[in-house]
Structure 1
Amino acid sequence: MKVVKFGGTSLADAQQLHKAASIIASDADRRIVVVSAPGKRHRADAKMTDLLIAGWKQVAEGKSPEREREAVIQRFAEIGSSLKLAASDIEEAVTPLRSLPQAVDSLEEPFLLDLWKAAGEDTCARMMACYLRSIGIDAEYVNPGAAGLLVEGDSGNAVVLPESMVSLRSLRDRKRVVVFPGFFGYTPEGRLVTFSRGGSDVTGSILAAAVGAELYENFTDVDSVFAVNPALIPNPKQIAELTYREMRELSYAGFTVLHEEALLPAFRANVPVCIKNTNNPAAPGTRIVSRRAVELSPVVGIANDDGFCSINLTKYLMNREIGFGRKLLQLLEEENVPYEHTPTGIDNFSIIIRESLAGDEVLNRIVYRIREELQVDDVEIVRELALVMIVGEGMLDSVGVVARAANALAKAGVNIAMINQGGSEVSLMFGVRSEDAARAVASLYHEFFYDEVLHWSLLRHKAAL
């Protein structure tokens, strides 16, 4: 059994939905289908989820959401009509949209937002099931609540409950092809809660783990995962295979092809994941597995993300002060600010945080509290930082990776503000100025991919001598 998930670009219009249906029909093992809400049809278009969020905003402000809701209904109706679905089937699919709450009553606003956001995936799943039946595939829409996808957590941040895995396992025994909306589940009390944005990937991974799938196929709009962002490097290397750890690191650092939380259920159940292209399903794609053979290069990919800042503090004999780190991190916890990394020295401590999670007022208060409560010698905020990360399982057994990376950045005139490497040694991260990030990525890609064959041939030649 395979679980297959289609992203928003794969379902943006009738033509794309037809392609997805053809992919399902081409392999009888594709028994569980997870769908996102339709994405953009063209650059200037709106995603279905964004239209629904706009409708929620109208409700939250006490206004009528009729225009936004009708835009969503009309777009689904156009898809259904182009697929030649019966008018009654189209109406059945869009009927739940008509009953979305139009006033803030007993529901808290965040959970009202979840109801609106999830309607895109839910309606798309209903329509996909109708279309599959219309082309001769015995398919059924299955609601996450009815299937037992139980979650806990705040609005937009659902976490699956362990008992869900037992309930969801029964999906493998269904005779029909299951069409399942992604992005949301239900609390034990029956309240709909969504995963974080991109959470349909998470739903697919949960179902693949629960049913013990042989493969979780994640269809998107690219042939594979690339070694670097194609917007920065023309025609970058395609990655045939990488590990869960490598994909997790790359997703965190800016790769958007797969939701960074999606791999956890599949990883725990040891279900392989394959990233494939809806528009080119014959392409082999990229497989994500527990272990892989390390190729010539120790680096499998390079990623970057910006929007960070660093709080740098200095205190003489910090290393002798018991509990200093705990006090500092507790201070962040009290200000409700998560941290990303904490590079340290004997008398120095840096905290990397996302600027979007802490405004100027919060940052200034944190700096004030650090001065007053921790009695540091100096503290400063460095803004507009980007994190550039090189990732690869082969780094563990390779000598000189840090030196090569630092030398490449030096040649490109990129100043390194911070270096951090985890204990697993699967990733090496550099903090650089945001304005230098693209140049940093290009120099690292040239070092580890353009020059890799030459580098290793020289090493072999030296060893022979």
Structure 2
Amino acid sequence: MKVIKFGGSSLADATHFNDVIQILQMDRQRRVVVVSAPGKRNENDEKVTDLLIDYARAHGKTQRSIGQQIIDRYQEIATAFDISAAQFKPLADQILALPTTSFRGPAFRMAAFKAHGEKLNAQLLALVLNTQGLAARYVDPHELGLIATQEPNNATILAQTYTHLAVARQELLAEDKLWVVPGFFAYTTSGHLVTFSRGGSDITGAILARGLHATEYENFTDVDSIYAANPNVVANPAPITKMSYVEMRELSYAGFSVFHDEAIIPAIEGQVPICVKNTNHPSVPGTLIVPTNQSQPKRLITGVASSKRFAALYLHRYLLNREVGFTLKLLKILFRYHISYEHMPSGIDDLTIIFDRNQIPADVLPHLLADIKETLQPDRLQWIDDYAILMVVGEGMRNQVGVIDRILHPLATHHIGVQMINQGASRISIMIGVREAQADDAVRLIYNDFFNQPVSLPLRQPAQEVTHG
């Protein structure tokens, strides 16, 4: 039995619904279908989830207009499959009822509005499948026993969910119907609807794959596979046919965005293989993500990725390594500002802290730096806001000597300075810090060396250091 998930781009309109029907007909092992809200039909279109957020915030005539836009999106699909007015009416009524429904509070209200993108799409797909001769029924997360924490718009699943899903599995196996389940939301123990973080339909799919003991979790999106580098950075990068869970997690951290970063965790816990496939080209094998002992790497590295969302704080103070509690004082300041850090490489007299830049608002940064300067009295304090991190990842690196030399050589040749380097204990990933402006060139050079695709880059002059103190 397989759990299969379709993203918003795969369910944007009637044409894509038709593609989904054909995919389900191709493999009868596909028994549980997890759906996202309809995505954009073209570049100028809006996602239904965004319309629902606007719907929640609007009032009066504007709200009624947005509500009708949402109804029209679903009606367009329903009409294409000859869904009757009587069958469609309950969907439209749910949208119209949202503004007058009472909720526990504003945050729970927003969660409920957003969740209806997935909820209505799952109900509609179940109707459509039945008209096309595929026996199906809508299954709400409440019926499955998906229980989550109390955070209305950033919930996490509770362990008792998997006990409920073990019972649901027996019902599924005994029932000769497709189950169509909306992604993105669950319920609290008191019955309030809560959503996962944005993109959370991937999370629902992975939870169901684990809890229902699926043989495979197929995640259908709009790309043929996961690639060894970002196609927007490297022309025609090699597709990855198979990779390990750990490789996927490491590469996701540095910008591989096919998967929601948290989505893979339940599948890892359940040891369920994941296959990323393209709704538009379902016969293409895609990328299989498996436990490490099944990965069998064919290359030294599997992929290289970069992310430009980072910044770094550099502190220099003589004999820093001998001062007991220095780091603790710094962490206490970060705690007061509710800021977490990503990495903290250090030396005898210096310390660098790397942050996700999005965590620190521009108006907070001066106060943070002033507090650090006053408390720690560093000899030198710099904020480096053009920081990027590269991840070079591959199970094939685990027992190889000289990989770091090979990675750094083309960077040194082209005068790309390395700000930080770190290799994890697993020896399958190497993290490199570079200037933001040089990140894409660094990815191209490393990719070229390991995948033997020529790239034309001029030899650079040594970069000037630009910092803000």
TM-score (norm 2): 0.92
Q: Contact 1:308–1:386 at 8 Å: present in 2 too?
A: yes
- Indicate the larger mover: 286-295 or 230-239: 286-295
Counterpart selection for 2:67 from 54, 66, 69: 69
Q: Distance in 1 between matches of 2:96 and 2:118?
A: 15
Shift of 1:220: 0.6
Q: Contact 1:9–1:41 at 8 Å: present in 2 too?
A: yes
Unaligned runs of 5+ in 2: 455-469
2:386 aligned counterpart, secondary structure: strand
Alignment of 1:108-127 (within 5 A): 108-127=105-124
- Indicate the larger mover: 289-298 or 216-225: 289-298
Q: Distance in 2 between matches of 1:146 and 1:94?
A: 22
Q: Distance in 2 between matches of 1:228 and 1:381?
A: 29
Q: Contact 1:64–1:102 at 8 Å: present in 2 too?
A: no
Q: Contact 1:412–1:439 at 8 Å: present in 2 too?
A: no
Q: Establish whether residue 239 from structure 1 lines up as the match of residue 207 from structure 2.
A: no
Code of the residue aligned with 2:318 in structure 1: it is Y
Q: Distance in 1 between matches of 2:296 and 2:214?
A: 26
**Closer, same or farther in 2 for the Cα pair 1:293/1:180, shift >3 Å?**
closer
1:394 aligned counterpart, secondary structure: helix
Alignment of 1:299-310 (within 5 A): 299-310=301-312
Aligned to 1:9: 9
Aligned to 1:457: none
Aligned to 2:155: 158
Alignment of 1:16-165 (within 5 A): 16-58=16-58, 64-101=62-99, 107-165=104-162
Shift of 1:421: 2.3
Alignment of 1:386-465 (within 5 A): 386-450=388-452
Aligned to 1:311: 313
- Indicate the larger mover: 108-117 or 129-138: 108-117
Aligned to 2:329: 327
- Alignment: residue pair count: 449
Q: Distance in 1 between matches of 2:426 and 2:329?
A: 26
Q: Distance in 1 between matches of 2:124 and 2:415?
A: 54
Aligned to 1:460: none
1:275 aligned counterpart, secondary structure: strand
Q: Distance in 1 between matches of 2:111 and 2:439?
A: 35
**Closer, same or farther in 2 for the Cα pair 1:117/1:293, shift >3 Å?**
closer
**Closer, same or farther in 2 for the Cα pair 1:423/1:47, shift >3 Å?**
same
Q: Contact 2:21–2:129 at 8 Å: present in 1 too?
A: yes
Question: After superposition, what is the alpha-carbon deviation per residue over 1:275-310, rounded to whole angstroms, capped at 9, x for unaligned?
Answer: 011111111111101124443432101111112111
Q: Contact 2:226–2:240 at 8 Å: present in 1 too?
A: yes
Shift of 1:451: 6.6
Code of the residue aligned with 2:117 in structure 1: it is G
Shift of 1:57: 2.5
Q: Contact 2:244–2:295 at 8 Å: present in 1 too?
A: no
Q: Distance in 2 between matches of 1:257 and 1:106?
A: 34
Q: Distance in 2 between matches of 1:408 and 1:122?
A: 50
**Closer, same or farther in 2 for the Cα pair 1:425/1:131, shift >3 Å?**
same
**Closer, same or farther in 2 for the Cα pair 1:204/1:106, shift >3 Å?**
closer
Q: Contact 1:313–1:348 at 8 Å: present in 2 too?
A: yes
Q: Contact 2:389–2:432 at 8 Å: present in 1 too?
A: yes
Q: Contact 2:243–2:297 at 8 Å: present in 1 too?
A: no
Q: Distance in 2 between matches of 1:77 and 1:300?
A: 44
Identity of matched residues, %? 43
Aligned to 1:187: 188
Q: Distance in 1 between matches of 2:295 and 2:202?
A: 26
1:360 aligned counterpart, secondary structure: coil
Q: Distance in 1 between matches of 2:416 and 2:44?
A: 35
Alignment of 1:237-316 (within 5 A): 237-291=238-292, 292-316=294-318
Q: Contact 1:267–1:290 at 8 Å: present in 2 too?
A: yes
Question: After superposition, what is the alpha-carbon deviation per residue over 1:124-158, rounded to whole angstroms, capped at 9, x for unaligned?
Answer: 00001101111112111111122210101423211
- Indicate the larger mover: 311-320 or 281-290: 311-320
Aligned to 1:384: 386
Code of the residue aligned with 1:28 in structure 2: it is R
2:99 aligned counterpart, secondary structure: coil
Aligned to 1:461: none
1:99 aligned counterpart, secondary structure: helix
**Closer, same or farther in 2 for the Cα pair 1:417/1:153, shift >3 Å?**
farther
1:429 aligned counterpart, secondary structure: strand
Q: Contact 1:65–1:102 at 8 Å: present in 2 too?
A: no
Q: Distance in 2 between matches of 1:296 and 1:35?
A: 34
TM-score (norm 1): 0.92
Q: Contact 2:242–2:290 at 8 Å: present in 1 too?
A: yes
Aligned to 1:352: 354
